[in-house]
Amino acid sequence: MSEPASISSGIAARYATALFEIAKDANAVAALEGDVDKIDAVLKDSADFRDLVASPIYSRDEQSYAIAAIAPRIGIGLMTSNTMRLMATKRRLFALPQLIAQLRALIADYKGEISADVVSARPLSDAQKAKLAAALKANAGKDVKINATVDERLIGGLVVKLGSKMIDTSIRARLSALQNTMKEVG
């Protein structure tokens, strides 16, 4: 891990732990999970929000006021909003993507779940997700929450990351392996 990524992860871990403990004490872990999903969606969908979070040209006050204005519109709770505003006033808002990842891990651990990142060539149906979750649960021994994304470059198949394991059954990986084998022969 690079040094800036390590610093961001360390900062995010401290804020995530504090926010998670507050939510747990208030019996609001489910609300926190909803907030995390909403913030993650806004980060993925809005270039302006990503700029606000990452750009050093915005002052602490501008970032804090922007978070205060955006939070009710996207429907995040006061606890999460206040944490984000605190991060802005401390010039730590750049660590928001890592905060989301840390919170997801804490919530999954609390719920006895493990997350699986699944990349497919086409969107998975609900039935396919359920079948894949059941197969992964049999392997992992825990409930599995699937974070599905689409990458058409895979051509077909799946790439599944479950904890430290990665299973790549994509056609792209098979073609790449075949290409390497042919280079060794020729």
Highest mean pLDDT (candidates 7-16, 58-67, 148-157, 163-172): 58-67
Which residues make up the CATH 1.10.520.20 domain(s) of the chain? 2-109
pLDDT digits (tens, 9 = 90+) for 68-121: 999 999 999 999 999 999 999 999 999 999 999 999 989 988 998 888 889 999
The arrangement of secondary structure in 2-109, i.e. its CATH architecture, is: Orthogonal Bundle (1.10)
Give me the pLDDT at residue 16, please.
Answer: 96
Give me the pLDDT at residue 142, please.
Answer: 87
- Report the 3 state secondary structure along the chain: CCHHHHHHHHHHHHHHHHHHHHHHHCCCHHHHHHHHHHHHHHHHHCHHHHHHHHCCCCCHHHHHHHHHHHHHHHCCCHHHHHHHHHHHHCCCHHHHHHHHHHHHHHHHHHHCEEEEEEEECCCCCHHHHHHHHHHHHHHHCCEEEEEEEECHHHCCCEEEEECCEEEECCHHHHHHHHHHHHHHHC
Give me the pLDDT at residue 186, please.
Answer: 64
Provide the percentage of residues in the chain whose pLDDT is more than 70.
96
Average pLDDT over residues 124-135: 93
